[in-house]
Amino acid sequence: MELKRVVVTGLGAVTPLGNSVPEFWENLLKGVSGAGPITHFDASKFKTQFACEVKNFDPLKYFEKKEVRKYDLYAQFAIAAAKESVDDAAFDMEKLNHDRVGVIFASGIGGIGTFEQEVKNYVTSADGVPRYNPFFIPKMIGDIAAGHISMMYGFRGPNFGTVSACASSTNALGVAFDLIRLGKADVVVSGGAEASITASGVGGFTSMHALSTRNDEPSTASRPFSKSRDGFVMGEGAASLILEELEHAKARGAKIYAEIAGTGASADAYHMTATHPEGLGATLVMENALKDANMKPEDIDYINVHGTSTPVGDPSEVKAILRVFGDHAYKLNISSTKSMTGHLLGATGALETIASILSVKNDIVPPTINHSDDDKDPEIDDKLNFTFNKAQKRVVRAALSNTFGFGGHNSSIIVKKFA
């Protein structure tokens, strides 16, 4: 069968750099860091006391006061981002066939804040009687964001969440892409959300030595590809994209940001939390994405890398890029926007896909911040263009975005100019 073409017609985001796509993009290009001391809980006794929190988020813009308690923070972020993306797509809701609109929305962890609070309430109760909030389970589960978004608009198409740790929302986009190109949906709202800056979230990642401990300089703690990197900075938020079948979009006169060209998935099959040191899974996932898109390595101009600022992860991804792209790797722009947003875990893939789309649309590549010439890592080829510290203008015909998750889950997506 002939596969249908899929385009992006709406974007939405709640991020540590701003609670809308325009604000996020502006600060990304400026090289603004979203990191600062943790305010969600008292982190003074933790080894890591900072994160990239969402600022000035007001749930009352989206919910009635009495309704807020029904939603974990991750779901609140998801609904806010989805609303921006649906508004951006400018559908005529009376003409839209709601039976053909799906919602595939991811979270790597789900409502960990709700889980933590409910267990704490039980443990500290004076009489030991188990009294749990009736909304506990529906607030906590990782699929509920997709359900809430569908209920908000009456979208009755395919509806579920994807869970693959930090690759979750890139996989969600891959599923949405396949549903549309196979003719099973006309439109899919897809993305991811996460709100894991909690005592148990930060404590758990800290105990694994995964987080940076630069408490005295949080704004420069995320420093991908630099020798002094010591772990990632946790972020939170949500990103939502409207994927739409091309002819459906054209028929309603929709604006088109970019076209989804292809996706890839693979497994490291190596370690519970560490990436393969030679980047074998990362190599395979990028090759799979290029094959799916029917593109050559030379067709890619920008890679938004996973680039978490961990000692093992960064060099292994660079090895994979050199293996896949060969000499063309030196003509690419490469950047890690996590240096500014932090790592949004299950939401990171969707947010970085938005960054890639806007790079393609505007012919500019956001930077990798926090690098200095005296902090070069001898394990990383410094002839590659990591777009250090300042955005760079160039024609971006197509961009590839990588996400790799605990469990060895790898996912990549390629977006290109619509023509």
Supply the residues annotated as catalytic: 166, 306, 343
DSSP state string for 31-79: T----EE--SS--TTSS--EEB---S--GGGTS-GGGGGGS-HHHHHHH
Residue 166, classed as helix, strand or coil, is strand
Angstrom distances, CA of residue 381 to CA of 232, 249, 322, 384:
21, 43, 9, 6
Dig out the tokens for 63 from the structure: 């919910």
CA-based nearest residue to 202, from 78, 347, 41: 41
Count of CB atoms situated within 10 Å of the CB of 253: 8
What b/e sequence results for 158-180 when a residue is b if at least 16 CB atoms lie within 10 Å of its CB, and e otherwise? Answer: bbbbbbbbbbbbbbbbbbbbbbb
Give the whole-angstrom CA distance, residue 266 versus residue 276: 12
Is the CB of residue 37 less than 8 Å from the CB of residue 265?
no
Written as one letter, the residue type at 345 is: L
Q: DSSP secondary-structure letter at 276?
A: P
CA distance 368 to 311: 16
Helix then strand then coil, in percent of the chain rounded to 5, is: 40, 20, 40
**Cα angle at 58 between 161 and 255, to 5 degrees?**
60
As given in the structure block, the two tokens for residue 37 are 């001391």
Whether 52 contacts 218, CB under 8 Å: no
Between CA 208 and CA 73 the distance in angstroms is: 24
Q: What's the angle, vertex CA 244, arms to CA 241 and CA 245, rounded to 5? A: 155
Q: Tell me if residue 238 falls in helix, strand or coil.
A: strand
d(CA 164, CA 171) in angstroms, rounded, equals 8
